[in-house]
């Protein structure tokens, strides 16, 4: 039987991260003249973390690591997820079974599952198929192949992208800030955006100082870097990068570039 799940219902658990913060200790190492033991023994400084976030010099954030467990997401989202290379991934095998039990699990939008249309079979007959029925036909074909002894590594070539994946994700706080800026945006695909926001909420709860202001690019920059590709729901609410630059260029009192940058000629 088809094990069917719908997008938007994926689970995310925070396995590790938060608690003791190491970003402020890491930052002290590049500035302090004190002995190592003194630096390590220093009390936690929220202000140092805030200074790092506001300055944009975020290398010290790489010393705080977060591990998430996820399930209920499709291979579509897995493919987009692993494009973030500054991360660690361990993903459940598509061939794993326990005691001969195997689930053919799919995750897709409900309107895709319910969408029905006519399809023509090789013998010329036309039948009406919903997305759910198409997925179940694939499951039947897959199970029949297994029963006939075909190698699963070959059968899975025809598994749908809707196939569920489970896995563990590890990212440091610097990589997470970068990932949230892209995947929390309204232009991100709906399922990975759902994953990103669930991860962000967990991070904010576990380490609020580290993720103060984290979110889509516009939340951090004060403008939308998408320009002409800005999401229609954001138009009129958030200036684009070009609009923000035009506002600066058209100020009544403009600071000479040389003075602003401290150049002497």
Question: How would you write the pLDDT of the chain (265 residues) with one tens digit per residue?
Answer: 888 999 999 999 999 998 888 888 888 887 777 788 888 888 888 888 888 888 878 888 999 999 999 999 999 999 998 887 789 998 887 666 555 556 788 999 999 999 999 999 899 999 999 999 999 999 999 999 989 999 988 998 999 999 998 999 999 999 999 999 999 999 999 999 999 999 999 999 999 999 998 999 888 888 888 888 888 888 878 888 887 888 878 775 555 545 555 555 4
Residue 91 lies in a domain: yes
pLDDT at 92 (0 to 100): 82
Between strands 116-120 and 11-16, the pairing is: unpaired
Q: How many CB atoms lie within 10 A of CB 130?
A: 14
Question: How far is it, in rounded angstroms, from Cα 179 to Cα 167?
Answer: 17
**How many domains is the chain built from?**
2
252 in the same domain as 176: no
pTM (two decimals): 0.85
Question: How far is it, in rounded angstroms, from Cα 72 to Cα 90?
Answer: 15
List the domain range (segments joined by +) for residue 252. 227-261
CATH number at residue 204: 3.30.70.3180
Residue 37 lies in a domain: no
> Distance of CA 136 to CAs 41, 113, 123, Å?
60, 11, 20
211 in the same domain as 253: no
pLDDT at 247 (0 to 100): 80
Task: Find the catalytic residue in 85, 183, 186, 249.
Answer: 183
Q: How many CB atoms lie within 10 A of CB 158?
A: 10
173 in the same domain as 94: yes
17 in the same domain as 70: yes
Take residue 89 and report the two structure tokens written for it.
Answer: 């991934």
pLDDT at 69 (0 to 100): 97
pLDDT at 101 (0 to 100): 56
169 in the same domain as 101: yes
246 in the same domain as 176: no
pLDDT at 99 (0 to 100): 53
Residue 172 lies in a domain: yes
209 in the same domain as 174: yes
Q: What is the SS3 assignment for 73?
A: strand
232 in the same domain as 103: no
15 in the same domain as 71: yes
Respond yes or no: is residue 183 known to be catalytic: yes
Residue 195 lies in a domain: yes
**Could you give the angle at the alpha carbon of 43 between the alpha carbons of 35 and 203, nearest 5°?**
120
Residue 130 lies in a domain: no
Residue 86 lies in a domain: yes
71 in the same domain as 7: yes
171 in the same domain as 256: no
pLDDT at 161 (0 to 100): 92
242 in the same domain as 210: no
Residue 200 lies in a domain: yes
Residue 136 lies in a domain: no
């Amino acid at each position: 039987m088809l094990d069917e799940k719908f997008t938007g219902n994926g689970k995310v658990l925070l396995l590790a991260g938060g608690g003791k913060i190491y970003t402020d200790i890491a930052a002290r190492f590049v500035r302090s003249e004190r002995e190592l033991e003194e630096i390590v023994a220093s009390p936690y400084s929220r202000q140092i973390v805030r200074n790092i976030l506001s300055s944009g010099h975020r290398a010290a954030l790489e010393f705080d690591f977060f591990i998430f467990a996820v399930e209920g997401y499709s291979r579509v989202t897995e493919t987009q997820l692993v494009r973030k290379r500054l991360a660690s991934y361990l993903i459940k095998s598509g061939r794993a079974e326990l005691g001969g039990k195997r689930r053919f699990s799919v995750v897709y939008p409900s309107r895709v599952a319910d969408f029905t249309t006519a399809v023509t079979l090789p013998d010329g007959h036309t039948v009406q198929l919903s997305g759910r029925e198409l997925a179940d036909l694939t499951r039947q074909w897959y199970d029949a192949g297994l029963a006939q002894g075909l190698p699963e590594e070959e059968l899975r070539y025809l598994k749908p992208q809707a196939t569920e994946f489970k896995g563990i994700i590890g990212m440091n706080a610097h990589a997470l800030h970068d990932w949230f800026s892209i995947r929390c945006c309204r232009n991100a695909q709906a399922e990975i955006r759902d994953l990103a926001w669930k991860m962000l909420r967990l991070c904010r709860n576990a380490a609020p100082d580290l993720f103060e202001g984290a979110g889509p690019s516009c939340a951090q920059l004060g403008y939308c870097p998408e320009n002409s590709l800005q999401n229609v729901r954001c138009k009129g609410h958030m200036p684009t990068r070009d609009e923000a630059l035009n506002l600066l260029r058209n100020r009544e009192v403009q600071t000479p570039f040389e003075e602003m940058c401290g150049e002497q000629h």
